């Protein structure tokens, strides 16, 4: 895909994120890896008001090319691309159920086998740090060790995938999991799946969905 086509898909993904109900207004952001950096939504602009040329290129070295300023959270996007080769696209959203759990500094334990979809026995919650800060990026990277999603305390969630459609689909799945856990916690403390069963599920997910 050309850079222009990719910018169009980044914007379409940001709009789809809001249409899917996992984000509202100009909060959240979307990016995809491109050349030696990534293309990311601009800061502070409603996605309906944006056109493809408002999507900004940021190099892994921090250089910016475009007519807008990148999302204030460009640092954790850069740091994820720099350290996780399998990350091809990132969705960050202030989705209601993830935010509810994140405001309780809550990790998601193995209450359901789908927790393994995000790489392990749990999904961690990154420690709070001011939005846009390097400290927040450091906390997010820490929470993402061995995982493709994390909550962000008093903030939201971040999910990455191989490409934009996958990252968006995983973000919707993650918010669904957060909603389910939130609902379960209204009834009580759920029984958890044990390490042995989660290891089995992780093994199955390694080949899940392959058509070959
Ligand atoms: Zn945010």
Q: How far is the CA of 130 from the centre of ligand 1 (A)?
A: 10
- Contact yes or no for 159/148 (Cβ under 8 A): yes
Share of the chain above pLDDT 70, in %: 98
Model confidence over 32-67: pLDDT tens digits? 999 999 999 999 899 999 999 999 999 999 999 999
pLDDT at position 208, please? Answer: 74
Which of the four pLDDT bands, split at 50, 70 and 90, describes residue 76? very high
Average of pLDDT values for 134-145?
98
Instruction: Indicate whether 107 pLDDT > 80.
Output: yes
pLDDT at position 39, please? Answer: 98
Share of the chain above pLDDT 90, in %: 92
CA gap 86, 29 in Å, rounded: 19
**37 SS3 class:** strand
Q: At what angle are helices 134-143 and 74-83 packed, to 10 degrees?
A: 40
Find the range with the poorest average confidence among 8-17, 18-27, 101-110: 18-27
pLDDT at position 212, please? Answer: 60
Q: How far is the CA of 47 from the centre of ligand 1 (A)?
A: 15
Instruction: Indicate whether 78 pLDDT > 80.
Output: yes
Q: How far is the CA of 83 from the centre of ligand 1 (A)?
A: 20
Instruction: Indicate whether 211 pLDDT > 80.
Output: no
pLDDT at position 203, please? Answer: 94
Instruction: Indicate whether 25 pLDDT > 90.
Output: no
DSSP state of 24: -
Look at the chain and count its residues. 212
- Contact yes or no for 106/94 (Cβ under 8 A): no
pLDDT at position 209, please? Answer: 66
For the record, the structure tokens of 152 come out as: 């962000």
Q: How far is the CA of 77 from the centre of ligand 1 (A)?
A: 12
Model confidence over 151-209: pLDDT tens digits? 999 999 999 999 999 999 999 999 999 999 999 999 999 999 999 999 999 999 988 76
Q: How far is the CA of 114 from the centre of ligand 1 (A)?
A: 24
Q: What is the mean pLDDT of the chain?
A: 95
From the list 73, 107, 127, 175, the catalytic residue is 73
CA gap 142, 78 in Å, rounded: 14
Is 107 catalytic? The answer is: no
């Amino acid at each position: 895909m050309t850079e222009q086509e990719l910018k169009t898909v980044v914007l379409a993904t940001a709009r789809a994120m809001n249409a899917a109900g996992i984000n509202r207004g100009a909060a959240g952001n979307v990016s995809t890896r491109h050349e030696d950096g990534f293309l990311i939504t601009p800061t502070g602009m409603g996605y309906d008001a944006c056109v493809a040329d408002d999507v900004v290129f940021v190099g892994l070295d921090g250089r910016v090319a475009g007519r807008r300023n990148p999302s204030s959270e460009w640092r954790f996007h850069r740091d994820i691309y720099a350290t996780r080769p399998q990350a091809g696209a990132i969705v960050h959203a202030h989705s209601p159920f993830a935010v509810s759990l994140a405001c309780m500094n809550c990790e998601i334990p193995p209450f359901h086998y789908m927790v393994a979809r995000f790489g392990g026995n749990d999904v961690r919650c990154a420690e709070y740090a001011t939005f846009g800060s390097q400290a927040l990026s450091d906390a997010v990277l820490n929470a993402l060790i061995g995982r493709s999603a994390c909550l962000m305390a008093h903030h939201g969630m971040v999910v990455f995938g191989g490409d934009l459609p996958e990252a968006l689909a995983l973000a919707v799945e993650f918010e669904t999991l957060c909603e389910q856990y939130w609902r379960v916690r209204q009834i009580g403390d759920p029984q958890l799946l044990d390490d042995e069963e989660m290891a089995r599920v992780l093994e199955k997910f390694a080949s899940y969905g392959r058509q070959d």
